[in-house]
A = this chain, B = another copy of it.
Amino acid sequence: MKKYIIGDPIPTEAVVADIPSEKAFPPIGTSALKENSYTLVLPLSKDAVVYGLGESPRGMNKRGWEYISYNCDDPMQTESRRGLYGSHNFLIADQEKPVGLFIDTPGKVRFDIGYTKRNELSIESPKDVAVYVIEGDSPQDIAHNFRKIIGKSYIPPKFAFGYGQSRWGYKSEEDLRNVADELERHQIPCDMIYMDIDYMQGYKDFTVNESRFPDFPAFVEEMKKRHIHLVPIIDAGVKKEEGYPVYEEGVEKGYFVKEKDQETDFVGAVWPGYALLPDFLNPEARAWFGEQYRVLTDAGIDAFWNDMNEPALFYSEKGLHELTEYLRSFIEDPDSGNVHELEMKVAGLNNSPEDFRRFYHRYNGKTYVNEDVHNLYGFNMTRGAAEAFDHLRPDLRTLIFSRSSYIGMHRYAGIWTGDNKSWFSHIKLLLSQLPGLNMAGFLYTGADLGGFTEDTTPDLLARFIQLGVFTPLMRNHSAILTRDQEPYQFENVEELAHLIQVRYRLLPYLYSEYLKAALNDEMMFRPLSFEFRDDPEAREVDDQLLLGDEVMIAPVYEQNKNHRYVYLPEEMIKVAFKPDGSIEEERLAKGHHYIEYPLDEIVFFIRKGKAIPVAAPAMNVDEVKSDDLLLIGDTGTYQLYEDDGIHQKSPVTKRILKK
């Protein structure tokens, strides 16, 4: 493994290992330098499969599309998108001699993976860039070698593996208590209830609305007694408001990003209206912002989600003023005006590329325009929080995950896949994202089950949950003004409750597999081809995944389907968790199968010679007992990893279970 340094790359802190580097083009493919860019072109064989690029859109095999790494808050996660909230510039070209590439730059990178020319992978980055060439015997080996150099993945507290209920629109103690009550009433296990932006006072970070939460610490405590952790959201933008201490202190200390003159604070706008962006790339500012979480940790909060940190910008003060000038001229003679241009200009306020050229960071002793270090912003916001927790909550693990990210942030936190939609196709999207995220170190991850924007349906929610029971982050989240999406809103609440209950029975296995993946630098979710190297049929499968060494999952992601085709690359045991609490097992031969997958069951497969532990039913993670585990699957042993799930340095025990 080697690092090739082209020009004078901006450091990212993605890689922590000290590995040999050379000031030269990488010795594979064809490199070329242009005035403003570096390109690396690698031939792809006809049958090459390309894996990676983290949470980026489209299939597990990234071939046939182009991707752009440039973190962006755009909730239209369609097939046409080039990228999403995080930039994870690691990929593996799986061909005769498989190779891994990590393009390490905080700037924009374009990956043309057989989009322009079918048999060519072409990467275009800023002209100063570090390229890591990661070798290995197999894609799995390459992914492992890459993980070794980027540092160990974040391990959250164990409660973070429970079910979380969220919705944009919960406003008060009463709202949240009602959610807890309804979940309990319907026997839906739960460990977390999320607090979206409405808990704050005027969308001001580190405030809690005092009329709607008259005694917040008492309420946190009340919920904790019910085994429920409240998870408040923290947004990147700090409201511009005289008298608001976070704003005033940040201004005074010069901790916000600046305009070109390096003096004027750049004024953007997000939920609170005009807001300033802390310069998370500056270690002092980052530490200062992290310190603010104390308001909430002091109130007993032990879990957070960081949002709007691409950063998202609804508009900027300058952008709005420029638009105002445009509007002024438009209204002089609207009948002759270019209405299409008007529409574009107004819509273009949102996350305008121009705005990302308007503000500057202090980073590594230098000044950088955001555009050049853009992809590091969310990473460093979240890192700042994680570093603060080390003294705000010493020795304890804190749940923290972020929307935006860059490789390196996986050491500090998890991510969720952002604002997805209530679409069946987004079940498959999540399935496709998991291996790419795991390769990039992101293990604590999941999607908004049921879909964030648009209206869900009860069967869509069930299908989402049938995949979500396996993802470390299991959260049902939805946007305001969409159809209510808590399981108890639907006729089939009992079915949904059963599905979520199964999650808790699988928890010892899932937590153990998470620990293994984190501690051993392995992927928790792998494409079939990573294991079954010589099986051409396994290689084409893009809607099934291996989970650990024992399990294969194959969720349904189409409406009105109660069956799906599943390919078994070897003999396996089909497992079905039935609504009556029983577990049905059936041995199936290698090959293609047409499998029944009802809405009210959890169905998956255990590999030949493997067994997994199943716990007794529980209503929260604290209740899950690991001393009396049932082993299901084939005759075999299972090595269970355990720790206390609470402390940073809890020792890990490894226990062999036999069936």
Specify the chain B residue showing the minimal Cβ separation from A271. Answer: B340
Contact of A559 among B58, B323, B455 (CB under 8 A): B58
A314 neighbours in B (Cβ, 8 Å): 339-340
Interchain CB contact under 8 A, A335 and B315? no
A269 to B339, CA, bound (A): 10
Instruction: Name A320's contact: one of B65, B115, B335, B542 (CB within 8 Å).
Output: B335
**This chain: copies in complex:** 2
Is A531's beta carbon under 8 Å from chain B? no
Q: Are B561's CB and A540's CB within 8 A?
A: yes
B64→A457 contact, CB < 8 A: yes
15 intermolecular pairs with C-beta atoms under 8 Å apart: A59-B559, A61-B559, A65-B457, A78-B423, A79-B422, A269-B339, A314-B339, A317-B335, A321-B334, A324-B330, A327-B330, A327-B331, A339-B349, A565-B594, A592-B592
Q: Which residues of B contact A335 (CB under 8 A)?
A: 274, 317, 320
Closest 10 pairs between A and B when the two form their complex, measured CB to CB: A80-B454, A79-B423, A565-B565, A346-B346, A61-B560, A324-B334, A324-B331, A327-B327, A592-B594, A64-B559
CA distance A59 to B64 in the complex (A): 26
User: Contact at B79–A421, with CB atoms within 8 Å?
Assistant: yes
Q: Per a CB cutoff under 8 Å, which of B346, B425, B561 touches A425?
A: B425
Chain A 381-420, CB-CB to B under 8 Å as 1, else 0, gives 0000000000000000000000000000000000000000
Nearest B residue (CB) for A323: B334
Chain A, residues 268-287, CB within 8 Å of chain B (1/0): the string is 01000010000000000000
Q: Which single residue of chain B is at the shortest CB-CB distance from A58?
A: B559
- Point out the residues of chain B lying under 8 angstroms from A457, CB to CB: 64-65, 115
Interface string of A438-467 (1 = CB under 8 A from B): 000000000000000011011110000000
CB neighbours of A425 from chain B (8 A): 79, 425
Closest Cβ of chain B to A318, distance in Å, is 11
* CB of A347 within 8 Å of the partner chain: yes
Q: Determine whether A492 belongs to the interface, using a CB cutoff of 8 Å to chain B.
A: yes
- A315–B339 contact, CB under 8 A? yes
Residues from chain B with a CB closer than 8 A to the CB of A349 are 339, 343
Kindly list 7 other residue pairs between chains A and B, CB separation below 8 angstroms, not including A343-B347, A540-B560, A567-B594: A63-B560, A79-B421, A80-B421, A315-B339, A327-B327, A346-B346, A565-B594
Q: How far is the CB of A94 from chain B (nearest CB, A)?
A: 12
With a cutoff of 8 Å between Cβ atoms, the chain B residues found around residue A115 in the complex are: 457
Q: Which of B79, B342, B492, B562 contacts A424 (CB 8 A)?
A: B79
Interface residues of A in 66-111 (CB under 8 A from B): 78-80
Inter-chain contact A565/B592, CB cutoff 8 Å: yes
A117 within 8 A of B: yes
A403 to chain B, nearest CB (A): 20
A323, B454: Cα distance in complex, Å: 27
Identify the A interface with B (CB < 8 A): 49, 58-59, 61, 63-65, 78-80, 115, 117-118, 269, 274, 314-315, 317, 320-321, 323-324, 327-328, 330-331, 334-335, 339-340, 342-343, 346-347, 349-350, 421-425, 454-455, 457-460, 491-492, 537, 540, 542, 558-563, 565, 567, 592, 594
Given contacts A59-B559, A80-B422, A274-B335, contact A118 B330 (CB under 8 A): no
Measured in the bound complex, the distance between the Cα atoms of B540 and A327 in whole Å is: 54
Chain B residues within an 8 Å CB radius of A540? 560-563
Chain B residues with CB under 8 Å of A78's CB are 78, 421, 423
- What's the least CB distance linking A341 to chain B, in Å? 11
Cα A458 to Cα B115 in complex, Å, equals: 8
Q: Which residue of B lies closest to A330 (CB)?
A: B327
Write the chain B residue with the least CB distance to A321: B334
Interface centre among A80, A323, A454 (most CB of B within 10 A): A80
A317 proximity list for chain B (CB < 8 A): 335
In the complex, which of the residues B320, B421, B562 contacts A334, with contact meaning CB atoms closer than 8 Å? B320
CB pair B64 A118 closer than 8 Å: no
CA distance A118 to B339 in the complex (A): 44
> How close is A229's CB to chain B, nearest CB, in angstroms?
32
On whether the beta carbons of A459 and B559 are closer than 8 Å, the reply is: no
B327 in contact with A339 (CB, 8 Å): no
A115 to B455, CA, bound (A): 10
Q: Which residue of B lies closest to A80 (CB)?
A: B454
| Cα distance A343–B343 in the bound complex, in angstroms | 8
The CA-CA distance from A659 to B321 in the complex, in Å, is 76
Residue of B nearest to A594 (CB): B592
Task: Determine the distance from Cα of A458 to Cα of B340 in the docked complex, in whole angstroms.
Answer: 31
Q: Evaluate contact between B328 and A331: CB separation under 8 angstroms.
A: yes
Q: Is the CB of A455 within 8 A of B343?
A: no
**How near does chain B come to A368, taking the closest CB pair, in angstroms?**
28
In the complex, what distance in Å separates the CA atom of A492 from the CA atom of B562? 38
Min CB–CB distance A299 → chain B (angstroms): 31
Which residue of B49, B320, B342, B560 is within 8 Å of A339 (Cβ)? Answer: B320
Asked if A64 contacts B565 (CB within 8 A), the reply is no
Distance to closest chain B CB from A92 (angstroms): 15
